[in-house]
Amino acid sequence: MDILLIDKSEHFEFICSQYKSICYPDFFDEVCVPNDEAVKSFGSDSVRFKQAVLEDIQPKNNTITVVVEEG
């Protein structure tokens, strides 16, 4: 089975603990994980990450449409 993670952000944030970042600026690095690193931690070529915005899902055609921002 292949897994494709699509996210407009390049990192995952554990938002529930972000309030600590106000007082402890270095804490942000502890609660944010770059999506590329998270995908590599699976140790499988079946898990991939694409930084984009999911625009449409066509289950009957087994296709998706994403928008990749330039820059």
Secondary structure (DSSP) of 27-38: GHHHHEEEHHHH
What are the phi and psi torsion angles at 43 (to 5°)? 65, 35
pLDDT tens-digit series, residues 52-71: 999 999 999 999 999 998 75
Pick from 13, 7, 12: nearest CA to 68: 7
User: Which tokens is 21 given?
Assistant: 């970042």
What residues form DSSP beta bridges with 33? 12
pLDDT tens-digit series, residues 16-58: 766 777 777 787 777 788 889 889 988 898 999 999 999 999 9
